[in-house]
Amino acid sequence: MDLVVNKVNLNGMIDVPSDKSISHRSIMFGAIAQGKTTIKNFLRGDDCLSTLKAFKDLGVKIEDDGETITVYGTGFSGLKQAKQAIDVGNSGTTIRLIMGILAGAPFTSQLFGDHSIAKRPMNRVMLPINQMGAKCSGHDGTEFPPLTVEGTEKLQPINYQMPVASAQVKSAILFAALQAQGESVVVEKEKTRDHTEDMIRQFGGEISVSGKEIRISGPQKLVGQEVIVPGDISSAAFFLVAGLIIADSRIVLNNVGLNPTRTGIIDVIEQMGGKLTIEETGSMANKAGTLTVETSELKGIEISGEIIPRLIDELPIIALLATQAEGITIIRDAEELKVKETNRIDAVANELNKMGANIEPTDDGLIIHGKTPLHSAKVTSYGDHRIGMMLQIAALLVKDGTVELEKAEAISVSYPRFFDDLNKLYR
Protein backbone atom coordinates (compact mmCIF):
# COMPACT_ATOMS: atom_id res chain seq x y z
CA MET A 1 0.00 0.00 0.00
CA ASP A 2 1.05 3.64 -0.48
CA LEU A 3 1.97 5.39 2.76
CA VAL A 4 1.16 8.98 3.65
CA VAL A 5 4.06 11.38 2.97
CA ASN A 6 4.86 15.06 3.48
CA LYS A 7 2.14 16.12 5.90
CA VAL A 8 2.87 19.55 7.36
CA ASN A 9 2.54 18.65 11.02
CA LEU A 10 0.85 16.40 13.56
CA ASN A 11 -1.32 17.83 16.32
CA GLY A 12 -3.92 16.31 18.56
CA MET A 13 -4.74 13.73 21.20
CA ILE A 14 -5.15 9.98 20.82
CA ASP A 15 -5.73 6.92 22.99
CA VAL A 16 -3.23 4.26 22.03
CA PRO A 17 -4.23 0.58 22.01
CA SER A 18 -4.21 -1.41 25.19
CA ASP A 19 -1.01 -3.00 26.42
CA LYS A 20 -0.27 -6.13 24.41
CA SER A 21 1.79 -7.88 27.10
CA ILE A 22 -0.81 -7.37 29.82
CA SER A 23 -3.67 -8.34 27.46
CA HIS A 24 -2.00 -11.68 26.71
CA ARG A 25 -1.34 -12.37 30.37
CA SER A 26 -4.83 -11.34 31.51
CA ILE A 27 -6.32 -14.21 29.49
CA MET A 28 -3.67 -16.65 30.71
CA PHE A 29 -4.01 -15.75 34.38
CA GLY A 30 -7.79 -15.69 34.11
CA ALA A 31 -7.72 -19.21 32.67
CA ILE A 32 -5.41 -20.75 35.30
CA ALA A 33 -7.07 -18.96 38.23
CA GLN A 34 -10.11 -20.27 40.08
CA GLY A 35 -13.31 -18.32 39.46
CA LYS A 36 -14.26 -15.40 37.26
CA THR A 37 -11.87 -12.84 35.83
CA THR A 38 -13.14 -9.72 34.04
CA ILE A 39 -10.87 -7.87 31.63
CA LYS A 40 -11.54 -4.32 30.47
CA ASN A 41 -9.68 -2.43 27.75
CA PHE A 42 -8.38 -5.70 26.23
CA LEU A 43 -6.34 -5.36 23.03
CA ARG A 44 -8.32 -7.08 20.27
CA GLY A 45 -5.34 -7.36 17.94
CA ASP A 46 -4.52 -10.57 16.11
CA ASP A 47 -1.83 -11.71 18.56
CA CYS A 48 -3.97 -11.35 21.69
CA LEU A 49 -6.93 -12.97 19.96
CA SER A 50 -4.65 -15.94 19.26
CA THR A 51 -4.11 -16.28 23.01
CA LEU A 52 -7.86 -16.02 23.66
CA LYS A 53 -8.63 -18.73 21.11
CA ALA A 54 -5.84 -20.98 22.44
CA PHE A 55 -7.42 -21.09 25.89
CA LYS A 56 -10.86 -21.68 24.44
CA ASP A 57 -9.29 -24.66 22.67
CA LEU A 58 -8.02 -25.80 26.09
CA GLY A 59 -11.58 -25.92 27.44
CA VAL A 60 -11.79 -22.51 29.15
CA LYS A 61 -15.09 -20.65 28.83
CA ILE A 62 -14.44 -17.08 27.66
CA GLU A 63 -17.12 -14.50 26.81
CA ASP A 64 -16.63 -11.18 25.03
CA ASP A 65 -19.44 -8.63 24.85
CA GLY A 66 -17.30 -6.11 22.98
CA GLU A 67 -16.42 -4.13 26.10
CA THR A 68 -15.57 -6.68 28.79
CA ILE A 69 -14.02 -10.11 28.42
CA THR A 70 -15.04 -12.61 31.08
CA VAL A 71 -12.86 -15.65 31.70
CA TYR A 72 -14.29 -18.48 33.77
CA GLY A 73 -11.09 -19.88 35.22
CA THR A 74 -10.59 -23.59 35.65
CA GLY A 75 -7.34 -23.53 37.57
CA PHE A 76 -4.35 -25.37 36.14
CA SER A 77 -6.05 -28.70 36.78
CA GLY A 78 -9.16 -27.80 34.79
CA LEU A 79 -7.43 -27.32 31.44
CA LYS A 80 -8.51 -29.91 28.84
CA GLN A 81 -6.54 -31.39 25.98
CA ALA A 82 -7.26 -29.47 22.79
CA LYS A 83 -9.08 -31.41 20.08
CA GLN A 84 -6.57 -30.21 17.50
CA ALA A 85 -3.19 -28.51 17.33
CA ILE A 86 -3.26 -25.00 18.81
CA ASP A 87 -2.65 -22.21 16.30
CA VAL A 88 -0.76 -19.26 17.85
CA GLY A 89 -0.78 -17.22 14.62
CA ASN A 90 2.07 -14.70 14.65
CA SER A 91 2.34 -14.51 18.43
CA GLY A 92 5.67 -15.37 20.02
CA THR A 93 4.28 -14.41 23.42
CA THR A 94 1.46 -16.94 23.08
CA ILE A 95 3.61 -19.90 22.08
CA ARG A 96 6.39 -19.30 24.60
CA LEU A 97 4.25 -18.55 27.65
CA ILE A 98 1.73 -21.28 27.00
CA MET A 99 4.57 -23.82 26.99
CA GLY A 100 5.12 -23.08 30.67
CA ILE A 101 1.43 -23.48 31.43
CA LEU A 102 1.12 -26.74 29.48
CA ALA A 103 4.27 -28.14 31.10
CA GLY A 104 2.21 -29.15 34.14
CA ALA A 105 -0.81 -30.51 32.26
CA PRO A 106 -1.48 -34.28 32.25
CA PHE A 107 -1.76 -34.42 28.46
CA THR A 108 0.18 -33.72 25.27
CA SER A 109 -0.34 -30.57 23.18
CA GLN A 110 0.76 -29.49 19.73
CA LEU A 111 1.50 -25.83 18.99
CA PHE A 112 2.08 -24.18 15.62
CA GLY A 113 1.98 -20.73 14.03
CA ASP A 114 2.58 -18.83 10.83
CA HIS A 115 5.75 -18.80 8.70
CA SER A 116 7.39 -16.26 11.04
CA ILE A 117 6.75 -18.35 14.16
CA ALA A 118 8.19 -21.39 12.37
CA LYS A 119 11.55 -19.56 12.26
CA ARG A 120 11.68 -18.46 15.89
CA PRO A 121 13.98 -20.38 18.27
CA MET A 122 12.30 -22.21 21.13
CA ASN A 123 15.24 -23.94 22.86
CA ARG A 124 15.47 -21.02 25.25
CA VAL A 125 12.10 -22.14 26.67
CA MET A 126 12.29 -25.86 25.95
CA LEU A 127 15.56 -26.42 27.84
CA PRO A 128 14.44 -25.13 31.27
CA ILE A 129 10.95 -26.60 30.90
CA ASN A 130 12.43 -30.00 30.06
CA GLN A 131 14.74 -29.73 33.08
CA MET A 132 11.59 -29.44 35.18
CA GLY A 133 10.28 -32.75 33.87
CA ALA A 134 8.09 -31.92 30.89
CA LYS A 135 8.99 -33.05 27.38
CA CYS A 136 9.04 -30.26 24.81
CA SER A 137 10.31 -30.88 21.31
CA GLY A 138 10.37 -29.04 18.00
CA HIS A 139 9.78 -30.00 14.39
CA ASP A 140 11.90 -32.98 13.25
CA GLY A 141 14.18 -32.73 16.28
CA THR A 142 14.88 -29.02 15.81
CA GLU A 143 14.13 -26.13 18.17
CA PHE A 144 11.57 -24.64 15.79
CA PRO A 145 7.77 -24.96 15.69
CA PRO A 146 5.55 -26.88 15.29
CA LEU A 147 6.10 -27.95 18.90
CA THR A 148 4.95 -30.86 21.01
CA VAL A 149 4.57 -30.33 24.76
CA GLU A 150 4.10 -33.47 26.85
CA GLY A 151 3.15 -32.20 30.27
CA THR A 152 3.53 -33.85 33.66
CA GLU A 153 1.74 -33.39 36.98
CA LYS A 154 5.08 -33.98 38.72
CA LEU A 155 6.99 -30.89 37.64
CA GLN A 156 10.17 -30.32 39.62
CA PRO A 157 11.42 -26.90 40.77
CA ILE A 158 14.40 -25.37 39.00
CA ASN A 159 17.35 -23.16 39.86
CA TYR A 160 17.96 -21.38 36.59
CA GLN A 161 20.48 -18.76 35.53
CA MET A 162 18.97 -17.20 32.41
CA PRO A 163 21.42 -17.01 29.49
CA VAL A 164 19.30 -14.38 27.69
CA ALA A 165 17.37 -11.33 28.86
CA SER A 166 13.85 -12.36 27.86
CA ALA A 167 10.56 -11.67 29.61
CA GLN A 168 8.93 -14.40 27.53
CA VAL A 169 11.39 -17.09 28.69
CA LYS A 170 11.19 -15.89 32.29
CA SER A 171 7.39 -15.91 32.22
CA ALA A 172 7.21 -19.43 30.79
CA ILE A 173 9.44 -20.69 33.62
CA LEU A 174 7.35 -18.86 36.24
CA PHE A 175 4.13 -20.39 34.90
CA ALA A 176 5.72 -23.83 35.17
CA ALA A 177 7.13 -23.03 38.63
CA LEU A 178 3.64 -22.18 39.89
CA GLN A 179 2.82 -25.86 39.30
CA ALA A 180 6.08 -27.42 40.52
CA GLN A 181 6.65 -29.14 43.85
CA GLY A 182 8.94 -26.81 45.82
CA GLU A 183 10.85 -23.56 45.38
CA SER A 184 12.23 -22.41 42.04
CA VAL A 185 14.87 -19.72 41.66
CA VAL A 186 15.28 -17.75 38.43
CA VAL A 187 18.17 -15.32 38.01
CA GLU A 188 17.81 -12.85 35.15
CA LYS A 189 20.71 -11.78 32.93
CA GLU A 190 19.20 -8.29 32.88
CA LYS A 191 15.95 -7.18 34.47
CA THR A 192 13.09 -7.50 31.97
CA ARG A 193 9.44 -6.44 32.00
CA ASP A 194 7.78 -7.75 35.13
CA HIS A 195 4.11 -7.97 34.20
CA THR A 196 4.05 -11.68 35.03
CA GLU A 197 5.43 -11.11 38.53
CA ASP A 198 2.95 -8.26 39.12
CA MET A 199 0.02 -10.36 37.95
CA ILE A 200 1.01 -13.37 40.07
CA ARG A 201 0.61 -11.05 43.06
CA GLN A 202 -2.59 -9.50 41.67
CA PHE A 203 -4.16 -12.97 41.33
CA GLY A 204 -3.29 -13.89 44.92
CA GLY A 205 -0.01 -15.71 44.35
CA GLU A 206 3.27 -15.34 46.19
CA ILE A 207 6.57 -14.42 44.58
CA SER A 208 9.76 -12.82 45.90
CA VAL A 209 11.97 -10.55 43.78
CA SER A 210 15.33 -9.25 44.92
CA GLY A 211 17.27 -7.49 42.19
CA LYS A 212 17.63 -9.99 39.36
CA GLU A 213 16.76 -13.01 41.55
CA ILE A 214 13.21 -14.34 41.60
CA ARG A 215 11.97 -16.99 44.06
CA ILE A 216 8.64 -18.75 43.70
CA SER A 217 7.25 -21.83 45.39
CA GLY A 218 4.64 -24.23 44.08
CA PRO A 219 2.12 -25.51 43.71
CA GLN A 220 -0.02 -22.37 44.07
CA LYS A 221 -3.67 -21.64 43.45
CA LEU A 222 -4.69 -18.31 41.96
CA VAL A 223 -8.02 -16.49 42.26
CA GLY A 224 -9.91 -14.61 39.52
CA GLN A 225 -9.61 -10.80 39.47
CA GLU A 226 -10.68 -7.67 37.61
CA VAL A 227 -8.00 -6.49 35.17
CA ILE A 228 -8.04 -3.03 33.58
CA VAL A 229 -5.42 -2.96 30.86
CA PRO A 230 -3.51 0.34 30.41
CA GLY A 231 -2.37 1.71 27.06
CA ASP A 232 0.66 0.09 25.43
CA ILE A 233 3.86 2.13 25.55
CA SER A 234 5.20 0.07 22.63
CA SER A 235 2.32 1.34 20.48
CA ALA A 236 2.64 4.84 21.90
CA ALA A 237 6.31 4.85 20.88
CA PHE A 238 5.48 5.42 17.21
CA PHE A 239 3.56 8.60 17.99
CA LEU A 240 6.11 9.74 20.56
CA VAL A 241 8.75 9.63 17.84
CA ALA A 242 6.45 11.18 15.23
CA GLY A 243 5.77 14.14 17.50
CA LEU A 244 9.50 14.67 18.08
CA ILE A 245 10.68 14.50 14.45
CA ILE A 246 7.83 15.96 12.35
CA ALA A 247 8.01 19.75 12.11
CA ASP A 248 5.61 21.91 14.14
CA SER A 249 4.00 18.95 15.90
CA ARG A 250 2.52 18.35 19.34
CA ILE A 251 0.92 15.03 20.28
CA VAL A 252 -0.84 14.06 23.53
CA LEU A 253 -1.14 10.34 24.33
CA ASN A 254 -3.63 9.28 27.02
CA ASN A 255 -3.48 6.36 29.49
CA VAL A 256 -0.05 5.05 28.50
CA GLY A 257 1.29 2.28 30.74
CA LEU A 258 4.37 3.38 32.71
CA ASN A 259 5.62 0.16 34.26
CA PRO A 260 9.28 0.99 35.04
CA THR A 261 10.50 -2.15 33.24
CA ARG A 262 8.96 -0.81 30.01
CA THR A 263 9.88 2.88 30.01
CA GLY A 264 13.34 2.76 28.47
CA ILE A 265 12.16 4.78 25.50
CA ILE A 266 11.27 7.67 27.81
CA ASP A 267 14.83 7.63 29.18
CA VAL A 268 16.22 7.64 25.62
CA ILE A 269 14.01 10.56 24.53
CA GLU A 270 15.13 12.58 27.54
CA GLN A 271 18.82 11.75 26.96
CA MET A 272 18.50 12.80 23.30
CA GLY A 273 17.00 16.14 24.33
CA GLY A 274 13.41 15.49 23.35
CA LYS A 275 10.59 17.65 24.68
CA LEU A 276 8.45 15.20 26.69
CA THR A 277 6.16 15.81 29.67
CA ILE A 278 4.46 13.15 31.80
CA GLU A 279 1.36 13.45 33.96
CA GLU A 280 1.07 10.25 35.97
CA THR A 281 -2.27 8.53 36.60
CA GLY A 282 -3.35 4.94 37.27
CA SER A 283 -2.74 2.63 40.22
CA MET A 284 0.39 1.18 41.78
CA ALA A 285 -0.33 -2.15 40.06
CA ASN A 286 -0.95 -0.56 36.65
CA LYS A 287 0.96 2.71 36.48
CA ALA A 288 -0.11 4.94 33.60
CA GLY A 289 0.09 8.54 32.50
CA THR A 290 -0.57 11.17 29.87
CA LEU A 291 2.47 11.81 27.65
CA THR A 292 2.96 14.96 25.59
CA VAL A 293 5.71 15.38 22.98
CA GLU A 294 6.70 18.32 20.77
CA THR A 295 9.05 18.76 17.84
CA SER A 296 12.60 18.77 19.19
CA GLU A 297 16.26 19.21 18.32
CA LEU A 298 17.84 15.86 19.12
CA LYS A 299 21.38 14.58 19.64
CA GLY A 300 22.88 11.13 19.14
CA ILE A 301 23.62 8.91 22.17
CA GLU A 302 24.74 5.37 23.02
CA ILE A 303 22.03 2.87 24.00
CA SER A 304 23.35 -0.31 25.61
CA GLY A 305 23.47 -2.53 28.68
CA GLU A 306 20.69 -2.90 31.19
CA ILE A 307 18.33 -0.45 29.44
CA ILE A 308 18.00 -2.71 26.38
CA PRO A 309 15.36 -5.10 27.82
CA ARG A 310 13.33 -2.03 28.86
CA LEU A 311 12.99 -0.90 25.23
CA ILE A 312 13.65 -3.98 23.11
CA ASP A 313 10.37 -3.68 21.17
CA GLU A 314 10.86 0.05 20.66
CA LEU A 315 14.31 -0.18 19.08
CA PRO A 316 13.07 -0.06 15.44
CA ILE A 317 11.29 3.26 16.00
CA ILE A 318 14.19 4.52 18.17
CA ALA A 319 16.46 3.81 15.19
CA LEU A 320 14.28 6.09 13.08
CA LEU A 321 14.42 8.72 15.83
CA ALA A 322 18.22 8.52 15.70
CA THR A 323 18.28 9.22 11.94
CA GLN A 324 16.86 12.66 12.79
CA ALA A 325 19.31 13.39 15.63
CA GLU A 326 22.58 15.27 15.16
CA GLY A 327 25.59 12.97 15.46
CA ILE A 328 25.99 9.23 15.83
CA THR A 329 23.69 6.95 17.83
CA ILE A 330 25.05 3.50 18.73
CA ILE A 331 22.78 0.64 19.80
CA ARG A 332 24.61 -2.30 21.43
CA ASP A 333 23.69 -5.50 23.34
CA ALA A 334 20.51 -5.98 21.31
CA GLU A 335 21.11 -9.47 19.87
CA GLU A 336 17.52 -10.31 20.86
CA LEU A 337 16.33 -8.23 17.89
CA LYS A 338 17.49 -11.04 15.61
CA VAL A 339 14.85 -13.46 16.92
CA LYS A 340 11.75 -11.27 16.88
CA GLU A 341 9.09 -11.49 14.15
CA THR A 342 12.00 -10.94 11.77
CA ASN A 343 15.68 -10.08 12.18
CA ARG A 344 14.95 -6.49 13.19
CA ILE A 345 18.60 -5.42 13.04
CA ASP A 346 18.81 -6.23 9.35
CA ALA A 347 15.23 -5.13 8.62
CA VAL A 348 15.69 -1.67 10.13
CA ALA A 349 19.00 -1.08 8.37
CA ASN A 350 17.84 -2.41 5.00
CA GLU A 351 14.57 -0.52 4.80
CA LEU A 352 15.66 2.84 6.25
CA ASN A 353 18.81 2.81 4.12
CA LYS A 354 16.57 2.37 1.06
CA MET A 355 14.99 5.68 2.10
CA GLY A 356 18.29 7.51 2.46
CA ALA A 357 19.33 6.80 6.05
CA ASN A 358 22.92 5.93 6.93
CA ILE A 359 22.72 2.91 9.23
CA GLU A 360 25.32 0.18 9.77
CA PRO A 361 24.06 -3.13 11.17
CA THR A 362 26.34 -4.88 13.67
CA ASP A 363 26.25 -8.28 15.37
CA ASP A 364 24.36 -6.85 18.35
CA GLY A 365 22.82 -3.60 17.17
CA LEU A 366 23.07 -0.60 14.88
CA ILE A 367 25.28 2.43 14.22
CA ILE A 368 23.08 5.29 13.02
CA HIS A 369 24.52 8.43 11.44
CA GLY A 370 22.31 11.51 11.67
CA LYS A 371 20.84 13.79 10.66
CA THR A 372 19.70 12.39 7.31
CA PRO A 373 16.84 13.43 5.00
CA LEU A 374 14.64 10.58 3.78
CA HIS A 375 13.28 10.02 0.28
CA SER A 376 10.69 7.87 -1.45
CA ALA A 377 11.27 4.12 -1.87
CA LYS A 378 9.58 0.76 -2.05
CA VAL A 379 9.92 -0.91 1.34
CA THR A 380 8.64 -3.98 3.18
CA SER A 381 7.56 -4.79 6.72
CA TYR A 382 8.80 -8.40 6.31
CA GLY A 383 5.47 -9.29 7.93
CA ASP A 384 6.61 -7.56 11.16
CA HIS A 385 4.09 -5.12 12.65
CA ARG A 386 6.66 -2.90 14.34
CA ILE A 387 8.75 -2.55 11.18
CA GLY A 388 5.59 -1.63 9.24
CA MET A 389 4.54 1.11 11.68
CA MET A 390 8.09 2.48 11.88
CA LEU A 391 8.20 2.80 8.09
CA GLN A 392 4.94 4.77 8.02
CA ILE A 393 6.36 7.27 10.51
CA ALA A 394 9.51 7.44 8.36
CA ALA A 395 7.37 8.15 5.29
CA LEU A 396 6.03 11.31 6.95
CA LEU A 397 9.52 12.79 6.56
CA VAL A 398 9.52 12.29 2.78
CA LYS A 399 8.91 15.56 0.93
CA ASP A 400 8.30 14.26 -2.60
CA GLY A 401 7.25 11.02 -4.25
CA THR A 402 5.68 7.87 -2.90
CA VAL A 403 6.61 5.35 -0.23
CA GLU A 404 5.13 1.94 -1.03
CA LEU A 405 4.92 -0.55 1.83
CA GLU A 406 4.66 -4.27 1.16
CA LYS A 407 2.95 -6.46 3.78
CA ALA A 408 1.26 -3.52 5.49
CA GLU A 409 -1.40 -5.88 6.83
CA ALA A 410 1.06 -7.06 9.50
CA ILE A 411 0.32 -3.88 11.46
CA SER A 412 -3.05 -5.31 12.57
CA VAL A 413 -1.19 -7.76 14.82
CA SER A 414 -0.85 -5.12 17.54
CA TYR A 415 -2.45 -1.90 16.29
CA PRO A 416 -5.48 -2.47 14.03
CA ARG A 417 -6.46 1.23 13.99
CA PHE A 418 -2.96 2.63 13.50
CA PHE A 419 -3.69 4.44 10.24
CA ASP A 420 -6.99 5.81 11.58
CA ASP A 421 -5.21 7.28 14.62
CA LEU A 422 -2.54 8.79 12.40
CA ASN A 423 -5.23 10.45 10.26
CA LYS A 424 -6.65 12.14 13.37
CA LEU A 425 -3.40 14.05 13.85
CA TYR A 426 -3.03 15.62 10.42
CA ARG A 427 -3.28 19.41 10.37
191 to each of 110, 309, 311, 319, 399, how far by Cα in Å? 31, 7, 12, 22, 41
pTM for this entry: 0.83
| Sequence ranges of the binding site for phosphoenolpyruvate | 20, 92, 120, 168, 344, 386
Measured between alpha carbons, how far is 15 from 17 in angstroms, rounded to an integer?
A: 7
164-209 pLDDT tens trace: 989 999 999 999 999 999 999 999 998 998 999 999 999 999 999 9
Beta bridge partners of 330: 302, 367
Confidence of residue 427 (pLDDT cuts 50, 70, 90): low
pLDDT at 7 over 80: no
| Sequence ranges of the binding site for 3-phosphoshikimate | 20-21, 25, 166, 168, 313, 340
Measured between alpha carbons, how far is 337 from 343 in angstroms, rounded to an integer?
A: 6
189 to each of 168, 205, 249, 310, 331, how far by Cα in Å? 13, 24, 39, 13, 18
* H helix and E strand count, the chain: 12, 23
Confidence of residue 308 (pLDDT cuts 50, 70, 90): very high
Residue 83, judged by CB atoms within 10 A of its CB (0-12, 13-18, 19+), counts as exposed
Q: What is the mean pLDDT of residues 371-386?
A: 95
The set of catalytic residues is: 313
Task: Please give the domain boundaries of the chain with CATH numbers for all domains.
Answer: 2-18+230-424 (3.65.10.10), 20-228 (3.65.10.10)
Measured between alpha carbons, how far is 302 from 331 in angstroms, rounded to an integer?
A: 6
Cα 266–Cα 410–Cα 68 angle in degrees, nearest 5: 75
206-250 pLDDT tens trace: 999 999 999 999 999 999 999 999 899 999 999 999 999 999 999
Confidence of residue 287 (pLDDT cuts 50, 70, 90): confident
46-99 pLDDT tens trace: 999 999 999 999 999 999 999 999 999 999 999 999 999 999 999 999 999 999
Residue 277, judged by CB atoms within 10 A of its CB (0-12, 13-18, 19+), counts as exposed
243 to each of 292, 295, 402, how far by Cα in Å? 9, 6, 21
Q: What is the mean pLDDT of residues 114-136?
A: 95
